[in-house]
Structure 1
């Protein structure tokens, strides 16, 4: 996997992925940015959420669950001093669907956390406390 990050102006950078996608990252006004895009650490947190969400949805699809909506709310804490690494990340999944089996949702979240989500597992092995839980909502 490869990527390229190129300075644009001030504290704005354009990141390009190997798969041909691009996005803008920017710093806060306090460091000379113009708030044109998310901060790099925000992208890292969103990447953890995306990685785990893909796992959860693939597992639920394979178990033939009728998911109508799924999102993950992430809450993270960072160290107070440099380097301001993540010290804690919590992923709270909200899964909505018809006739959802709680056991399948619980299993999907656990498998992502323990086996499949390379992003959260990598950070956890690096010293970040990564926790997961879920909320089940039956669609009407």
Structure 2
């Protein structure tokens, strides 16, 4: 069983932590009596969704022996406006996978497996939520090639 504790600190700000002491700050915007000092709870949910599916995708690609060097997921959520609760009705996840000779078919399959089988956060979304995915594969330098940073220096 997972347990977290969330405590109100001031105005509309809450801090949550897990049993290992990891924390997350949640706050409302200044227009909603907050200070904007942290993510809004629904943004935390989007981060949770991206983290969950990201862990799945990396694990699956490693099992497929893909040379993955980085994964970035941009998540956009659109809330319904006509009634409460203002749930997300459309969520789009765009995966940017960086690696050497990574198979686009392997990435596509890893995303599909995460979406339909493994991601617990995504599995909690009801049928009223449309989840769309897209991805791109960015080619990295071959193994053993020195990497160059933005200033042209060897990293």
Whether TM exceeds 0.5 here: the answer is yes
Highest relative contact order (Cα 8 Å, sep 6+), 1 or 2? 1
RMSD across aligned positions (CA): 1.2
**Structure 1: gaps spanning 5 or more residues:** none
Measured in 2, the distance between the counterparts of 1:138 and 1:23 equals 33
Q: Which has the higher strand share?
A: 1
* Count of aligned positions: 139
Q: Which has the higher helix share?
A: 1
The C-alpha deviation readout for 1:60-87, integer Å capped at 9, x for no partner, is 1111111111111111100103211010
Q: TM-score, normalised to structure 1's length?
A: 0.93
Aligned to 1:52: 53
2:97 counterpart of 1:95: yes
Measured in 2, the distance between the counterparts of 1:34 and 1:86 equals 23
The ranges of structure 1 where at least 4 consecutive aligned residues each deviate by more than 6 angstroms after the TM superposition are none
Q: TM-score, normalised to structure 2's length?
A: 0.85
Larger Rg: 2
Measured in 1, the distance between the counterparts of 2:104 and 2:29 equals 41
**Structure 2: gaps spanning 5 or more residues:** 142-155
Aligned to 1:133: 134
